[in-house]
Amino acid sequence: MEFLRPATWADALAAKAEHPGALPIQGGTDVMVEINFDVRRPEALLDLNRVGELTGWDDHDGTLRVGAGVPYARLIRELGDRLPGLAQASRTVGSPQIRNRGTVGGNLGAASPAGDAHPPLLAGDAVIEVESAARGVRLIPAAEFYLGVKRSALEPDELIRAFRTRPASGPQYFSKIGTRNAMVIAVCSFAVALHPGERRVGTGFGSAAVTPRRAREAEEFASAELDWDGRGPLRESAAREFGELVKRAAAPIDDVRGTADYRRHALAVMARRTLTWAWDDHRAGTKGKEAS
């Protein structure tokens, strides 16, 4: 197996153009498991760890651009106040060792319906920045990035450069159900983000359809239902209806981690609870648990 080690982003793109079959490796927390278990035997590995352009983030004109190689541990530490939903999700990923190595770029590259970064990226309207040597940069809204089980809109000659998103303008929450408390793949997961300036609610859920998805009807319902001007309380019946609409957006399967019925039920509960927490925070003038 060839091992390619570009030192710059331009070299990485050139290497991917020359070897479209080369498998990118960042933290390696998915790739090495697959190689060790003989799930894949790529013709070449494209190690991105020397590419400095992937490991930084910046904030320009109100948009955060976070390099694909920023590990979860740094995301929690450095961006937890600006991206509280994604930071909450990052805290649930694996163990400290996995959070030190694993990245949102790798989660996107794997495009598993159970990946924990996806629901908050969807709820926060993130855009995925991908690039190829031949065609340059493409910006793909998260909602259009996931195409099927472990399939994304990334072309064979493209690499993920970064994701872009606005810092939270309101409370955000992430909730995940696993078969134990840590080191666990989501049975299902849900993220909510309030966008008070636009009077809008964003959502994302995982492990309950072939791809991570938004629950659009639920978003529309809650956006219209919430008392953005008066900040009045969220009616219990409205919170329940929101949960039911999220449940209806799901298309889960029975598998070893849980049944489809359980997943639907759990999604409705997580959606009701997280919307209630987020709205209560908004009424209290706070941005959620990660806010400083």
Contacts to ligand FAD from residues 35-54, by CB under 6 A:
48
151-152/159-165 β-pairing: unpaired
Q: Could you identify the residue written with the tokens 């390099």?
A: 67
Query: Judged by CB under 6 A, which of 7, 10, 134, 183 binds ligand FAD?
Result: 183
Query: Judged by CB under 6 A, which of 75, 83, 160, 177 binds ligand FAD?
Result: 160
Question: Backbone dihedral region of 177: left (phi > 0), alpha (psi from -120 to 50 degrees) or beta?
Answer: beta
Query: Judged by CB under 6 A, which of 13, 23, 126, 245 binds ligand FAD?
Result: 23
Decide whether 100 or 169 has the Cβ nearer to ligand FAD: 100
Decide whether 140 or 234 has the Cβ nearer to ligand FAD: 140
Does residue 30 touch ligand FAD according to CB under 6 A? yes
Q: How far is the CB of 29 from ligand FAD (least distance, A)?
A: 3
Task: Count Cβ atoms below 10 Å from residue 145 Cβ, excluding itself.
Answer: 23
Query: Judged by CB under 6 A, which of 102, 124, 202, 258 binds ligand FAD?
Result: 102
**DSSP codes, 169-225:** SS-EEEEEE-SSSSS---SEEEEEEEEGGGTEEEEEEESSSSS-B--HHHHHHHHHH
How far CA 40 is from CA of 1, 35, 243, in Å, comes to 12, 6, 39
Query: Judged by CB under 6 A, which of 55, 88, 107, 165 binds ligand FAD?
Result: 107
Would you tell me which residues interact with ligand FAD (CB under 6 A)? Answer: 23-31, 33, 48, 68, 92-94, 98, 101-103, 105-107, 109-110, 115-116, 159-160, 183
